[in-house]
Amino acid sequence: MSDKKNKGQILKPFGPSIAKLSIPKKIIDDLNIYIDQVVDDEKRSEELDHGKNLVGNVKQEFRIENDFAKKIGWIDFLASGCKGWVENTSGEKMNEFKLLNTWVVRQFSGEYNPMHYHKGHISGVGYLKVPNNLGKTFQKHKKDNTNGMLSLVHGSRMFLSKSIFNIEPKVGDFYFFPNYLMHCVYPFYSDNDGDERRSISFNAKVDDNIYHI
């Protein structure tokens, strides 16, 4: 940002930061195999069902078992991602990472997640499967198509300040954000009943002295 007399930079000192990382392919493959096995086992699916604790209007949401999450390096991925993000943003050294839960959301055509926030200190979501096509808008002149997107919301729209950040789901992308950040997931539309938008989320706590500023 400059003119002939002045040089400067655009700063963004307000609002929560968001971190974006890539899930290692090996972990994606391990998770998808595990999830497919749970889906095929009706008894296990019922035991791990997490839908009653979540707000999503979707057919299936279930917990990832901690032993498995630890075995494949999923917990280490979340912990190291949180540590890098928190320390780079706050300048404080993070010593504690306590996973509260991690779960899968299997979203199919027409399903959605209404506006909500999470418990704990830090939350996040990433993508393990995404349909090739999330469907068209009903009005052809619309420039923005939010089908299947994650929408993060903070504050209200003001001059030089947006309040909504829409994220297009892509396999391997993972986003970390503060637990209080409001968010929702829009439905996608497909003629193929097998098209699945498969995401994985978590809640965790970090050092109290870092979170409770």
Least confident window among 67-81, 127-141, 185-199:
127-141
Residue-wise pLDDT tens digits, 156-180: 899 988 899 999 999 999 999 999 9
Q: Which of 196, 163, 197 is nearest to 181 (CA)?
A: 163
Say yes or no to pLDDT of 141 above 80. no
| Confidence (pLDDT) at 143 | 75
**What share of the chain has pLDDT > 70, as a percent?**
93
Distance from C-alpha of 65 to C-alpha of 72, rounded to nearest angstrom: 11
Q: CA separation (Å) from 78 to 8, 33, 140, 152? A: 36, 19, 40, 20
> For residue 198, what is the DSSP state?
E
Query: The domain containing residue 85 runs over which residues?
Result: 19-211
Residue-level pLDDT at 77: 97
The average pLDDT across 139-161 equals: 88
**Structure confidence at residue 6 as a pLDDT band (50, 70, 90):** low
**What pLDDT, on a 0 to 100 scale, did the predictor assign at position 8?**
67
Examine residue 180 and state whether it is found in any structural domain, yes or no.
yes
User: Is 177 within the bounds of a domain?
Assistant: yes
Q: The CATH number of the domain where 38 resides is what?
A: 2.60.120.620
Name the domain count of the chain.
1
Asked if pLDDT for residue 14 goes beyond 90, the answer is no
* 157 found inside a domain: yes
Average pLDDT, the chain: 92
3 has pLDDT over 60: no
Residue 106 falls inside a structural domain: yes
Reported as a single tens digit per residue, the pLDDT across 32-45 is 999 999 999 999 99
- Residues comprising the chain, all counted: 213
Q: In what order do the strands lie in the sheet with 173-178?
A: 19-22, 173-178, 122-129, 197-206, 97-107, 60-63
Report whether 174 contacts 124 (CB < 8 A). Answer: yes
Question: In this model, does residue 2 exceed pLDDT 70?
Answer: no
pLDDT at 12: 67
From 31, 66, 33, select the one nearest 48 (Cα to Cα).
66
User: Is 1 a residue whose pLDDT tops 60?
Assistant: no
Full 3-state SS string of 37-57? HHHHCHHHHHHCECHHHCCCE
Q: How many CA atoms lie less than 13 Å away from 116 in the CB half-sphere?
A: 14
Residue bearing the bigger pLDDT, 114 or 59: 114
**Assigned domain for 11 exists:** no
Residue 126 lies in a domain: yes
Give the span between the Cα atoms of 54 and 74, in whole angstroms: 21
Average pLDDT, integer, range 77-96: 95
Give the span between the Cα atoms of 2 and 8, in whole angstroms: 6
Based on DSSP, count helices (H) and strands (E) in the chain, helices before strands: 5, 10
Residue 9, domain member (yes or no): no
pLDDT on residue 4:
59
- Cα–Cα distance between 120 and 135 in angstroms, integer? 34
